[in-house]
A and B are shown apart, each in its own frame.
Chain A
Amino acid sequence: MRRFLPLLLAATLLAGFQTTAQNAVPEIAFDSIANPLTLPDDIYLGEVGGVAANSKGEVFVYTRTGHPTVSLGSSRAFAHGGSRLFQFDRSGKFMREIGQDSYGLMFAQQVRIDPQDNIWIVDQMSGYVMKLDPTGHVLMLLGRKPESISVPAPAPRGAGGGGGRGGALPGAGNASDVFNRPTDIAWDAAGNIFVADGIGNSRVAKFNSKGVFIKSWGSTGTGPGLFGSVLAIAVDAQGNVYAADGGNKRIQVFDNNGTFKTQYANVGTPAALCITPGPNQFLYSSNSNPPEDLDVAGEIYKMKLDGTLVGKFGKAGKLPKEFGTVNSIDCRSENNLLVGEVGNMRVQKLTLH
């Protein structure tokens, strides 16, 4: 035991170094079904950008798969393909593909289902936020895909093909209705649309329910209302906006018009957010491990909306109940989560106890 103590101390210190929250947070017991989806023999999931369930329990997965392609023999370099959207029934059986050969499906980032069961997808590369009706037809598009890409890619961080049309410098918070590597979408009770924009353009953009651009807030920085990057977004029943400021390792909370209210800086690097429905809402946030390292982070936090930590579960890894760079959480049911992983190219169905 004496030999064990220094080890324990070292482990505690290391854990504390990663996030300040870990020490006091209780572990939430949970189980996982690591292969809840049944795919046809000729369809494979790639990196899971988004997973979401609709009101019938059908599951939608937006995944980076296939062959992202740049054309040759053309006036400019055009990029195509690279992502697919699949629908499964409530038992996990494959139903169909949506948006095959669509112009906008390139680098799957997120899928969310609104209260009317419309399907919203966010593509980080084409820069589109697409609203599809429950049958999969396009109802509305926000943003526009850059017509062509630069070869070779210019400066990193958003300028290389994923950028919006505006031409503003990445992180400038350009107040525009096009995006630069957008990451997520949420709605308030009135149907206003909030877009996390994102990795390229450190801001939150607000549109009304008809897609009219209203305003945006934020740019690159570390102060209140500024972002390192906006990796995810969620809105509670009161219309407050929770933005995962991954670059600054905090969740920032704003009122419905973008006025900074508070921040939660004790949950590591938030990379996926989800707020449960109903009168007593909870917030889930994933401290996702970076894709290049499986030996740090990976746990998911459950919090009250005021930031009180309820508990945490999981760690980075490839086994069931471990997580490989979680990019998406569905929490339509508070204790039955769907989790989408980039690194492990899978969806896990979790039951929390």
Chain B
Amino acid sequence: MKSFLACVSVIALVLSGAHALAQQKATAQNVSEISYTSAPNFLKIPAGETLGEAVGVATNSKGHIFVYHRSANTRLWEFDKNGVFVKEIGKGYYGFEFAHSVRVDAQDNIWTVDEGTNTVTKFSPEGKFLMVLGRRPPAVDGAVSTTTGPNPPAQKYIFCRPTDVGWDPQGNIFVSDGYCNNRVVKYDKNGRFLTQAGSEKAGNGPGEFNLPHGLQVDGQGNVWVADRSNNRYQVLDNNLKPKTMYTNLGVGWTVCVSPGPHQYVFASNSNPNGNAPGTWDNTGEIYKLELDGTILGKFGHASKEFGGFQVVHMMDCRNPNEIVVGEIESWRVQKLILQPTPAKTSSAR
């Protein structure tokens, strides 16, 4: 029995590794480089504290930075615009177990997505609990093994390792869900289910997903989904009907849409550990796009050194020339100052 278990574990490891080995070089050609610098000593971590896997980063209207990270416990920290620590939010909160995303809405409310507790939580700008979507699996059911085999049917109000959250201008809520569902769900601003695209099953057709890993909504209400294991980004309309997909940007790891009258999209071809030699030469970069998909340029590269990226897990692009990135495998948050791009200088696709 013991050897059987070990055997199963090895197979599981190989399977999960196989996913990472499929690391994609982007097929977009002749993309110009956007020059950038990374601000040194940007975040001042309080003495005695350690940042863990920096999976979630977001800024509010005052430029405060929220970092949702995996340390001994999953924690949410607030820093001011100069990177000085302000406070911890959600200490001991029931919906924090394994961080995945933090986003700040137009009213400066702070939203966390936790793929350990299967919850999406809305906190006030001050950090008070306002609303929760989803439900933490009850502890009384005992220790739960990592799921294998077919996913159980997706439920309207229950998530399975959700990954990200976004809002349209009306305040409707969109959730990418996730690792063991393969769907995008739309709720009204009060958390009432409206519709979904995809299902518990993975698929590669339009409107189907294979690990929707990140999501943001543009000013027209279109939903940009990082469809990670399909190596693409999908754009859905506000009712979640598929509109467009982009398959030339490598792995669809995470996406950010800047606010304002002229919006830009940032998309990361992140490169996890577990790849063969050579992949670092042509992965890890971030693309800057117009909403119509025109590529304006790219920046960055895979590197464990400061200024490079070791798996960008989330980007904040409130200011499209000042990108805050959180890296999962380097336990790092960087602020990148980009050289502004002239409008549509490149027509590369």
Spell out A's residues near B (CB within 8 Å).
39, 41-47, 63-68, 70, 77, 79, 82, 106-107, 124-125, 149-154, 156, 160-162, 181, 291-295, 317-319, 343-346
Q: Which residue of the partner chain, among B91, B138, B143, contacts A77 with CB atoms under 8 Å? A: B143
Which one of B97, B131, B142, B192 has the highest number of Cβ atoms from chain A below 10 Å of its Cβ? B142
CB of B141 within 8 Å of the partner chain: yes
Asked if A162 and B135 sit within 8 Å, CB to CB, the answer is: no
Size of B's binding interface in residues, CB under 8 A: 33
Asked if A152 and B94 sit within 8 Å, CB to CB, the answer is: no
Given contacts A77-B143, A153-B141, A161-B140, contact A295 B193 (CB under 8 A): yes
Asked if A124 and B145 sit within 8 Å, CB to CB, the answer is: no
Determine the distance from Cα of A295 to Cα of B135 in the docked complex, in whole angstroms.
15
Given contacts A292-B155, A292-B156, contact A107 B138 (CB under 8 A): yes
Asked if A66 and B144 sit within 8 Å, CB to CB, the answer is: no
B interface SS class: loop
How many CB-defined contacts (below 8 Å) exist between A and B? 107
* A-B residue pairs, 10 tightest by C-beta: A153-B142, A46-B94, A160-B142, A68-B139, A161-B142, A318-B191, A65-B94, A107-B140, A151-B143, A125-B140
CB of B20 within 8 Å of the partner chain: no
Asked if A43 and B92 sit within 8 Å, CB to CB, the answer is: yes
- Interface positions, chain B 93-113, Cβ under 8 Å from A, are 93-95, 97
Asked if B139 and A106 sit within 8 Å, CB to CB, the answer is: yes
Given contacts A41-B127, A295-B156, contact A152 B145 (CB under 8 A): yes
Taking the nearest CB of chain A, how far is it from the CB of B4, in angstroms?
A: 15
> With a CB–CB cut-off of 8 A, which chain B residues contact A153?
141-144
CB of B157 within 8 Å of the partner chain: yes
Taking the nearest CB of chain A, how far is it from the CB of B228, in angstroms?
A: 26
Q: Which residue of the partner chain, among B88, B131, B142, B156, contacts A151 with CB atoms under 8 Å? A: B142
Determine the distance from Cα of A63 to Cα of B94 in the docked complex, in whole angstroms.
10
Determine the distance from Cα of A151 to Cα of B141 in the docked complex, in whole angstroms.
11
Could you jot down 22 A-B contacts, CB within 8 Å?
A42-B92, A44-B90, A44-B91, A46-B93, A46-B95, A65-B93, A106-B140, A107-B138, A150-B142, A152-B144, A153-B141, A161-B142, A161-B143, A162-B142, A294-B191, A294-B192, A294-B193, A295-B193, A317-B191, A318-B192, A345-B94, A345-B132
> With a CB–CB cut-off of 8 A, which chain A residues contact B51?
none
Determine the distance from Cα of A343 to Cα of B157 in the docked complex, in whole angstroms.
10
Taking the nearest CB of chain A, how far is it from the CB of B230, in angstroms?
A: 28
Q: Besides A67-B97, A317-B192, A319-B190, 10 other CB < 8 A contacts? A: A46-B94, A64-B139, A67-B92, A68-B139, A106-B139, A149-B143, A153-B142, A161-B140, A292-B135, A344-B132
CB of B331 within 8 Å of the partner chain: no
CB of B21 within 8 Å of the partner chain: no
CB of B339 within 8 Å of the partner chain: no
Given contacts A64-B94, A65-B93, A65-B94, contact A291 B135 (CB under 8 A): yes
> With a CB–CB cut-off of 8 A, which chain B residues contact A42?
88, 91-92
Asked if B93 and A82 sit within 8 Å, CB to CB, the answer is: no
> With a CB–CB cut-off of 8 A, which chain B residues contact A67?
73, 92, 97
CB of B299 within 8 Å of the partner chain: no
Determine the distance from Cα of A66 to Cα of B128 in the docked complex, in whole angstroms.
16
Determine the distance from Cα of A152 to Cα of B92 in the docked complex, in whole angstroms.
25
Taking the nearest CB of chain B, how far is it from the CB of A110, in angstroms?
A: 13
Determine the distance from Cα of A70 to Cα of B139 in the docked complex, in whole angstroms.
10
